[in-house]
Structure 1
Amino acid sequence: MMGSLRFRLAVGALVAIGVALTIVWFVLSHLFTDYLADQYSYEMTGVMDSLAARLTVEDGRLVLTGELADTRFDLPTGGRYWQISPSDGGRPLRSRSLWDEEIAAGDLSADLYCGFRQTDGPDGLPVLVSEKRMSLGEGAARKEFTIYTGFSKAEMETVLESYHRPLRLMLLSIGGILLLAAFLQGWIGLRPLARLRDSVADIRAGRLAHIGWSGPREVTPLVREINLLLTERETAVERARARASDLAHGLKTPLTVLSHLAESLPAEKRDTALQQIELVRQRSDRQLQAARMGVEQMATTSLLGISGKLVNVLQAFTSGKGIDWHVDIDPALSIQADPADIAEALGNVLDNAVRFARSRIELSARHDQRHIVLIVSDDGPGAGAESYDRMLKRGVTINDETSGSGLGLAISADIVEAYGGKLDLLASKLGGLMVKMTLPASEVAP
C-alpha cells in the first residue's frame, strides 16, 4: 500500500486534517473556557461589590443592611453562595443558600480551576470560590473582612459541555468534508497519470506510435521525454533491422558456397558436412529472429485464432495415423505478442507432439492470474524427467530413431522466454509428454 501514490496522498491529507482540526479544537475550547471563566469572574466581582456596598459596622460588628436581588442566594443549595468572614474571628455572615455550611479558608484548594479555588458545597458537590479582602471604617473603628462568593462547578461544566458537544460535531463534519475534498482532489489530480498510463499501454500494444498530449503542464515534460525515448527507440529498431538484414545476406553466400563444396566430399563426410551447414543456417535464422523479437512492437494475439490455424494444417498430416485432436481454448484469451512468434513457438511444440503421438493430442489454455497457461499433451512414449533439461538444449534429440534437428523445443523456449514467459516439460496424464507454456496475459486498460 505504501507504494501507492493515492494512498500516500490520502494518508498525508488525513494527518494534516487531523492535526489542523485538533489545533482548532484546543484553540476554540481554550478561548470559550477563558471567556466563560471571565463572565463568572465578573459576576462574582459584582456580587462582592454589592455586598460591600450594603455593609455597615454597628457596635463593632458587621451588619448587612439589605439583601441581594438574586433569589438563588435565598434557596438552600441554590447554586449561588456568599460569605463575609471578619478578620478578627467573629461570626461570619452567610447566604441562606449555604444552609449550615461555612466556607473555611483552610478548606479551599490550592490549585485553581479556571482561576477559581474549590471547596465542597452544602450538598457535597464542588463549588468554585472567589475571595476578596476588604475593610470598612477608619481608625479604631476599621473593620477588616474577607468576602467569599461561589457558584456550582457543575453549572460551569454543563455550559462547557453544551458548547463542546456541537463543536465536536461541527469539527467532525468539517473533517469528513475535507477528507472527501482531499479524495476528490487526489482522484482528479491523478487522472492525467491514468491517461498517460493508458497511452503507454496503447503504444506497447502497437495501437499508437507516440503520445498525443493536452494535459496539465506539470506532466508535459514527462510526456516529451517519453516521446523522445520512443523516437530514439524507433531509430534503434531501424538500425537493428538493417544490421540483421545485412547479416542475413552476408551469411547466405558463404553457406551456399560451403554446400557446393561439401558435395565434392566423400559420401561418409558429405552428409555430416551438409548437416552441420544446415545447422548453422537454422541457428543463424533463429538468432536473427530473436533480434527481431527484441525490437518489434507487440500486438494483441488471439490464442484460439493462432491455435486453430495450426491445428487445421497439422490435421492433414495426422489423418492417416488416426490421431484425435482435442482443443479447449476460450475465444477471449489473448496475449500481447507478435502472432508470427507465437505461431512458431506453438507450431514447434505441436509438430513435436505430432511426431510422437499414437492416437490423441490435447491442446488447452487457461487464465492464471496475470498469465496465460498453454498446454500441449500427447499419448506418445514420452521421456524420463531426467531428460527434460537436455530436451530444451539446441541440437539434442533423445530418440535416435526419430528425425529432427533437436531445435524445435529449444526455439519455442527461447521465444516464450523473450516475452517474459517460461516453458516447462512434464509428464502427460495421457502417458506421453506435456509441454506447458506460461505467457503474460493481454493487459486491458481500465
Structure 2
Amino acid sequence: MRVREILGFRSNSLASRLFLSATAWVVVVLLVTGVVLSSVYRSASERAFDRRLNLYLRTLIAEVTAPDEPDDRQFQSLGEPLFDLPLSGWYWEVDRTDPGKAETRASRSLWDKKLPKLVDQGIALSSSGVRAGYVDGPEGQILRMAERPVDLGADGKFRVAVAGDASEIFDETRAFDYYLGGTFAALTIGLLLTTIFQVRFGLAPLKRISDAIADIRSGRAERLEGEFPVEIAPLAWETNALIDANREIVERARTHVGNLAHAVKTPLSVIINEASAHEGDSFAAKMLEQAGMMRNQVAHHLERARLAARLTVIGTVTDVAPVVEALRRTMEKIHRDRDITIEVDVSPGTKFRGERQDLEEMVGNLVDNACKWAHSRVFITTSVRPPSGVEPAMLHITVDDNGQGLSDAERMQASQRGRRIDETKPGSGLGLSIVTDLAALYGGRLTLDTAPIGGLRAELLLPSA
C-alpha cells in the first residue's frame, strides 16, 4: 500500500499532492542542511586537531632553533607519552635537509619507520608557512600531518613534521553524524506530522464543500450550509447562487414548454374536430391522419423538452418501491378483464436519482406494454448495481412478461418512434421510444431481451442515489 493511502489521502488528490511536495521539500532541505553541518563540523574538528599539531610543531622548532649543538638536542619536552609508545599513531620527525648532511631524528613511537613528506605530495605552504594534510602512516594508519621547513642559515636547514592519528577526527565526525541523523530524523517526523495536520485540517473546508455538493446531487440537501473560512466562503456563495440560477432557468423553461404545448395543441384540436365533421370525405380522412401524426410528434417533442428541462434540476431523489407498488395496483385495475397477475420484487432502500413522475412514466410504459402482451403474468424486479470503473451505481429495473415475445428484428424496431409491431394492440407506438429517450437523458439505457418466463424482458438502467 502506498504511503498516501496509508495516511488516508486519495490518489491524485490535492491533499496528496501537497503532502508529497511538502515531504519532498522537507527531505531535500534536511539532507542539504545535514551535509553542510557535517562538513562544517569536520572542518572544525580538523582545525582543532591542527592547533594541537601546531603546538607540538612549535615546540620541536624551538628545540631545533636552540643554541645547543645539534647532537645535544634531546627533543624530550613535548610532554606527550604517545610519542614514546611504539606505533601509537602519534609521531614526530626532524630531518636535516642540507646537501651532504642528511640526518634524521624521530620519536620513539615511529620505531624504524619514516613519515612521508607533504612536499612530495604537492601540498603548498599555508600563509603561516606550514603544510598540512592526510598521509598514510605505519601499519595502515591514516595520519593528519603538519610539516614546516626551518632555515637556520649556517646552522643548517631542517624539515620538522608532526603527525597524529586521524581516526580521532573521523570518530568525532561519525559520532556527530549519528547524533545529527537522529535529530534530523525526529525533526523530519515532527515536520511531516505537522504537514499532515496542516494539509488535512487546512483542506477540511474544501472536503466539506465537496461532501455538501454530493449531498445536493443526491437530494439530501438543497444548498451549501454552514460557516466557511474567509478564503472559501466566496466559493460557497457562488455555488449557492449558481444553484438558485439553475432552478430559476429550469422554471422558466417549464413555463415556456407549457405555453408552447397549449399554443400548438389547441389549433391541432380545431383541425381534427373540423375534419371529423366530414367523415365521408377522403380529404377530411387524410387531414385526420396527418393531424394525428402531428399531434403524436408534437406530444413526443414537447415531452422531451419538458423532461430535458426537468433533468437540470439538482438534488431530486425518488424512492422506487412506492412508485412500483402504485403502478402495480393501477395496471391490475386497467387490465382486470384479462386477469393479469403482476408480481413485484423490489430491493429495499433502492432510490432513483431523478423525479418521481419521470420514473413513473418510464416504468409505467414498460409495465403497460408488458400487460398488453402478457398471457397471464408480469414480473417486475429492481436492484442496485454497485459502481464499477466505468460507471457509478445504477438502478436496475427489469419487466418480464410471459407473452409471445419478439424476434431480434422486432426488438430492433420496437424502440423506434411511432413504430407499432402489432396494430391490433392499442397505443401510439411512442411508449418505448419515450422510455429510451428519457433513460438516455438521465444517462441510462433500455435494452430488450428474452424473458426467462417466456416473453419479452425490458431492462432499464438508471442512475441510483
TM range (shorter): 0.7 to 0.9
| Correspondence 1:15-414 to 2 at 5 A | 15-55=24-64, 56=66, 58-61=68-71, 63-88=73-98, 90-105=102-117, 109-110=121-122, 116-136=132-152, 139-140=153-154, 142-206=155-219, 208-212=221-225, 214-266=227-279, 269=285, 272=289, 275-276=292-293, 278-280=295-297, 282-283=299-300, 285-317=302-334, 325-362=342-379, 363-369=381-387, 370-372=392-394, 373-414=396-437
The amino acid across from 1:144 in the alignment is K
CA distance in 2, matches of 1:107, 1:305: 101
Q: 1:172 to 1:260 in 2, by over 3 A?
A: same
- Structure 2: 5+ residue stretches without partners: 1-9, 125-130
Residue aligning to 2:3: none
Matched positions, count: 437
Deviation at 1:19, TM superposition (A): 1.9
Q: Deviations over 1:192-233 (max 9, x none)?
A: 112222333344345555434531222223233323323332
Give secondary structure in 2 for the equivalent of 1:123: helix
1:54 to partner: Cα distance: 3.3
Shift in Å, 1:28: 0.9
Q: Distance in 2 between matches of 1:179 and 1:96?
A: 56
Contact 1:204-1:298 at 8 Å conserved across structures: yes
**8 Å CA contact 2:89, 2:141 repeated in 1:** no
Change (3 A) 1:441 1:427: same
Q: Which moved more, 1:173-182 or 1:228-237?
A: 228-237
Contact 1:109–1:117 at 8 Å: present in 2 too?
A: no
CA-CA distance at 1:342 after TM superposition: 0.9
> Are the equivalent residues in 2 in contact too, given 1:48–1:149 (CA < 8 A)?
yes
Distance 2:123 2:317 in 1: 79
| Secondary structure in 2 matching 1:380 | coil
Farther off after superposition, 99-108 or 413-422? 99-108
Q: Is the 8 A contact 1:120 1:127 kept in 2?
A: yes
| Structure 1 stretch displaced more, 4-13 or 397-406 | 397-406
Q: Answer with 331-340 or 428-437: which moved more.
A: 428-437
Partner Cα distance (2:52, 2:463) in 1: 80
Which residue type is aligned with residue 372 of structure 2? R
Select 1:434's aligned residue among 442, 457, 463.
457
Change in 2 beyond 3 A, CA 1:108/1:306: farther
Task: Provide the C-alpha distance between the structure 1 equivalents of 2:150 and 2:375, rounded to a whole number of angstroms.
Answer: 121
- Per the alignment, in what secondary structure is the counterpart of residue 150 of structure 1? strand
Offset, 1:171: 1.2
Give the TM-score, by structure 2 length. 0.84
1:285, distance to aligned residue in structure 2 (A) = 4.9
Moved more, 378-387 or 409-418: 378-387
Distance 1:173 1:391 in 2: 71
Corresponding residue to 1:422 among 441, 445, 464: 445
Question: Does the aligned pair in 1 maintain the 2:439–2:445 contact within 8 Å?
Answer: yes
Distance 1:305 1:37 in 2: 87
Structure 1 runs, 4 residues or longer, greater than 6 Å off: none
| Deviation for aligned residue 1:46 | 0.8
Any idea what SS the aligned residue of 2:140 has? coil
The letter of the residue matching 2:15 is R
RMSD: 2.8
Q: What CA distance in whole angstroms lies between the structure 2 residues aligned with 1:73 and 1:375?
A: 100
Partner Cα separation in structure 2 for residue 364 and residue 220 of structure 1: 41
Q: Which amino acid aligns with 1:98?
A: L
> Cα 1:322–1:93, aligned 2, differ >3 Å: closer, same or farther?
farther
| Mapped partners of 2:333, 2:358: distance in 1 | 23
What CA deviation, in whole Å up to 9, does each residue of 1:100-142 have, x standing for no partner? 2101327964579xx9433322222222212112244xx52x2
Q: Specify the code of the residue in structure 1 equivalent to 2:25.
A: A
203-212 vs 170-179, which moves further: 203-212
Judged with a 3 Å threshold, the aligned counterparts in structure 2 of structure 1 residues 322 and 75 are, in CA distance, closer, same or farther, namely farther
